[in-house]
Structure 1
Amino acid sequence: MNAWAEGNACQLQYPLNIELKTSNVPSGQTSDLATRLETLLNAEDRFSLHKFNVVTGTVSTNSALTVQLDSSSANSPAKATLRSWEPVLDVSHQLQTPEDLQNTALFLAGQIFEVFEDESAALSHLLDGTPFSGGRQAMQLSVEKKQKLDGRTTRAFKPASSYHLTFSLFTPGASPSAWEIDQALKEYIQPLLNPLSSVSKFTIDTQVQLYAAFSPSISGPVFDEDRNRWSLHYSDLTGFVNAAEWPLSPGIGSGPTINFVLYHPSADKAPLLIAENDGTSWIIPQWGAVQIHNPPPGQNTTKLTLEDLRPDMLVFADQLASLLGVPPSPPSLSLRISSLARERGTALILSASSTLGALSRLTLKLTSIEIPTSVAKSVDETLTRLDRACQDLQQGNFQSALENARIAETEVEKAFFEPSMVGQVYFPEEHKVAVYVPLLGPMAVPLVLSAINQLKSLRDRKKAKTG
């Protein structure tokens, strides 16, 4: 337990397989290029947490990135394009002479660094100041970069194996009373959930609430005569959701609920915008997001069509990614989700190890606490899962590492908050004395008086015998 708490049980390392594919390049040159590229990648201090392994040909599905090099255009400028939905980097670079090999390797290394730069910064920031930093010097990050990383962590939900998504349409009147939400979810949200299913599972429900009044805790909206619109101020946003009257369930099932509220203002209070930035949407950290759907002037529809919902769903998709902690870069969604899996696995290992240390210190400090068998089993399972997670990380099996780390976190939390142990922690020996003294006190008085009388009687008998 202490070995994990002190960061000595595992050396966190993130091996990344880079698959290099070339066209119109002899195999010998491809192998030479791969060797040069791997040397350049692993020589960069900023990426000390990563270990790059550049391979040629076809490898297993755990490749972090595939580089597709086209050297057929001799005089065209070098360029690189990252595919949006695949972990593939398409590169065009001249490769005609031996000197071009090193130039190509340098160009490829620079492009790969750009792909994984944000992930390296996030992992370094996550490990900074923890026992698992391993004495490595943290990446030098600007104050702005640290604030962005902290903000992403604060905004996102705690890692969970499943989430429930609730999409709600609220309107202050009787219309719109319907929306083509099923088609909109299929068109704009499901393409994001499909790749995210490797990290967590998702369930979805929808609802429509008519005659939904503003929360009485906000002062707005107020009418801006100069701009002929209604405005909300930043101070109104935190209290915009009318928790007392709007039927928003705090949780369904075992996982946390992420709420998405689409508010359709009445025609006499539209358009409704945020005064400070002219925006119509905002995120409520670790709760969900709100989007205002301003109808076109003069429109009084009873149903929101798929086309009406399109801009709102695109905003919700971005907000969902933020609430789940998906990194904002690189452009490839597949790579961002892979980075999320590595970051989550690391965060869960750190959390489980810290809780193990707290549990160890607790049992050493309060030696009178009886350790239940269930706690011992949970601790054993936690240690086993942490060992497996560490091995998976070092072997590049990041999905398996995430799953083992998630189980370890669940088991150690269950052990730490075992009801019978919690009761003992908050009922120490001093409290037992305070409880039992009022009960034993009345019994002790006659016992003490009786003992005194017996002692006096014994003394009198001894005097009578000696007298």
Structure 2
Amino acid sequence: MHKKRNLYKYRIAATIAFIVVIVGIGVPMWWKTTTVYRVSLPSSAIQRLSEQPIKTAVQIAIYTQETNRGQLLITELETAFADSDIWNVEFKQLLPFAKAAEVHTPAALEKLLLQAHPQSVGDFLFIEWAKLEDELLLTTERSALMRSDVTSTKIAQLLHSKILQTYRINQILSTDERLGTKSEAPQPAYDVVISVLNPKPRLTFAQWNVAMAAQTYIEPFLAQISDISNYTVRTQWKYRVSIEADLKQMRDSSKLGRHYALQESSLPHLLTSIAQNLSGSITDKPVINLVVYIPPCTTAPLHIYNSKQEMLTKHGVDAFISPPWGGFIIANPPEHVCLAHLNNEPPVEYYVNTNDNMQVMLDQLHKLLDISSEVQVAGVKTVDIEQLAPRRWEYESYMRRSAIRHIATASNTLQSLIKLLDQISYIVIDDKVGAAITNSYVDIMAAKVALIEHRLVDASALAKRAFVASERGFFDASLLAQLYFPDEQKYAIYIPLFLPVMVPVLSSFNMLRKLLHGRRKEKQQ
């Protein structure tokens, strides 16, 4: 009887030990080794990002010669902007002062006003000037001159359309696709490639130090707008690259007696035909192509025509842009060069006009980078740019718009990523991805605070950083590491492996139950 009891004890101990090893150690170890590593993320906070509006503070100063008129304008403008979901506009009245009567030019008056009331980035100033032909005259700085009879409605219209560009902000923030296609957020870096195409260098002796022209015109301009993106400028000459388009000869009264017409409808095909020959090197940055095409005298001068057979030449230059690809300029050879060719004379060497082509190229960059404001307002005139830098108010509007677009894009990217990670539980979230997502969220919140606190430069930097981090997190290669091993595949692999092992475990449970039941009966007897 004593041996039988010892046998029971050993069998029970062995059964329990087997169960403990398999269930207590084996199963947790299997569970731990097959668990996907996922860093903790502020998922709920990210999902609430769309509930927190993006609101921007702007300060608008108004100077009038009569205090009562300034107060009336400000009261009416505050009413007009009171219900805005986007803008928190602070209107500030600048009172008349004694020295104002002594100045004779608007520039001198503006200088005195800015000495007494310095501006911050993103601010704007309206200055009343009685001797003004237009209702409003936009300068190249953060100011506009206004006539004595201008209304608050016209000022509000100018603010919404050109200074604040409310309609474009609404396009960025709206989820309604009917508002039109939205442009992409500015990338952190671009390659600007200036290409000069000379298809027949033996017949067209065109000379041009394009690298020096880029250093003189393009690089200083891009340096002025480097707060949003960094730019690398490269130049290149391409020979024997001709455009593939049907050109039509047109008679005219020039000494050559003809020119050639390039139809506007052919322009997209033209870009396709030369695009493959422009890549100088492989880069992961977006490329902005600026092409200067020198047509040979056999097809020069070459001009662009629209569908109504109207010549589209402006200021003696034929050019067009194709966002976001780039711009195209036709640099026709001078007439005397082609006359020499027509008379079978030796080729004449000449120099490409740097100023004309670079001015067109700068205008193309304004449009390609979405800096320039093309909206026209009746009674409002804008001063022409006379320097390489863009208009200050125009660029700061671009900064503000880019910051809002970066915040909105980063928020949408994070929300899409969190939704994806919640739906697919077996995607790995390592420390690098987790840090990118968390840092992006923190910067988004900080950028929103900076906008409402009237810190446009800080908001722009934070928004850009948030955008870069969100893109880095979304496109990280580690997120794809286990997409080919979903839970169903894991079960298909592990069940055949563990099922044979679990059969003895279940048998041991059954044996233990029987042993305990037998001992209970013995005790009862």
TM-score tier after normalising by the smaller chain length: 0.7 to 0.9
Aligned counterpart for 2:445 among listed residues 387, 393, 406: 387
Give yes or no for contact 1:193–1:202 (8 Å, CA) kept in 2. yes
Give the Cα separation in 2 of the matches to 1:287 and 1:356: 28
Give the Cα separation in 1 of the matches to 2:46 and 2:393: 29
Aligned counterpart for 1:304 among listed residues 335, 338, 351: 351
Residue aligning to 1:458? none
What letter corresponds to residue 15 of structure 1 in structure 2?
Answer: A
What letter corresponds to residue 121 of structure 1 in structure 2?
Answer: Y
* TM-score using structure 1 length: 0.74
Give the Cα separation in 2 of the matches to 1:338 and 1:301: 47
Give yes or no for contact 2:191–2:288 (8 Å, CA) kept in 1. yes
What letter corresponds to residue 283 of structure 1 in structure 2?
Answer: I
Residue aligning to 1:14? 56
User: Does residue 280 of structure 2 align to residue 249 of structure 1?
Assistant: yes
Aligned counterpart for 1:284 among listed residues 322, 325, 339: 322
User: Does residue 158 of structure 2 align to residue 114 of structure 1?
Assistant: yes
Residues 1:238 and 1:244: Cα distance change in structure 2 (over 3 Å): closer
Residues 1:369 and 1:202: Cα distance change in structure 2 (over 3 Å): closer
Cα distance per residue 1:369-401 (max 9 Å; x no partner) = 332111221121011101111001111222221
What letter corresponds to residue 75 of structure 2 in structure 1?
Answer: T
Residue aligning to 2:301? 271
Give the Cα separation in 2 of the matches to 1:250 and 1:348: 28
Give yes or no for contact 1:386–1:405 (8 Å, CA) kept in 2. yes
Cα distance per residue 1:141-181 (max 9 Å; x no partner) = xx9xx55xx3xx45xx6402332222111111113453143
Shift, 1:207, TM fit: 1.6
Give the Cα separation in 1 of the matches to 2:247 and 2:134: 54
Give the Cα separation in 2 of the matches to 1:111 and 1:394: 22
What letter corresponds to residue 91 of structure 2 in structure 1?
Answer: V
Residue aligning to 2:234? 205
User: Does residue 124 of structure 2 align to residue 86 of structure 1?
Assistant: no
Residues 1:69 and 1:343: Cα distance change in structure 2 (over 3 Å): same
Residue aligning to 1:335? 393
Shift, 1:316, TM fit: 1.5
Shift, 1:416, TM fit: 1.9
Give the Cα separation in 2 of the matches to 1:426 and 1:278: 58
Shift, 1:259, TM fit: 1.0
Structure 1 regions of 5+ residues with no counterpart? 94-103, 131-137, 452-467
Residues 1:12 and 1:181: Cα distance change in structure 2 (over 3 Å): same
Aligned residues: 399
Give the Cα separation in 2 of the matches to 1:370 and 1:199: 32
Residues 1:283 and 1:251: Cα distance change in structure 2 (over 3 Å): farther
Give yes or no for contact 1:260–1:290 (8 Å, CA) kept in 2. yes
Structure 2 regions of 5+ residues with no counterpart? 1-42, 95-115, 253-257, 313-317, 338-346, 376-381, 384-390, 505-525
**What percentage of residue pairs aligned between the two structures are identical?**
21
Give yes or no for contact 1:212–1:245 (8 Å, CA) kept in 2. no
Residues 1:329 and 1:172: Cα distance change in structure 2 (over 3 Å): closer
Give the Cα separation in 2 of the matches to 1:44 and 1:421: 48
Residue aligning to 1:66? 125
* TM-score using structure 2 length: 0.66
User: Does residue 171 of structure 2 align to residue 125 of structure 1?
Assistant: yes
Give the Cα separation in 2 of the matches to 1:286 and 1:244: 13
Residues 1:9 and 1:352: Cα distance change in structure 2 (over 3 Å): same
Cα distance per residue 1:349-386 (max 9 Å; x no partner) = 11111111112112211123332111221121011101
Give the Cα separation in 1 of the matches to 2:189 and 2:327: 18
User: Does residue 445 of structure 2 align to residue 418 of structure 1?
Assistant: no
Give the Cα separation in 2 of the matches to 1:79 and 1:236: 41
The correspondence of residues 343-354 of structure 1 with structure 2, limited to 5 A, is: 343-354=401-412
Give yes or no for contact 2:225–2:395 (8 Å, CA) kept in 1. yes
List structure 1 segments (4+ residues) > 6 angstroms apart after TM superposition.
none
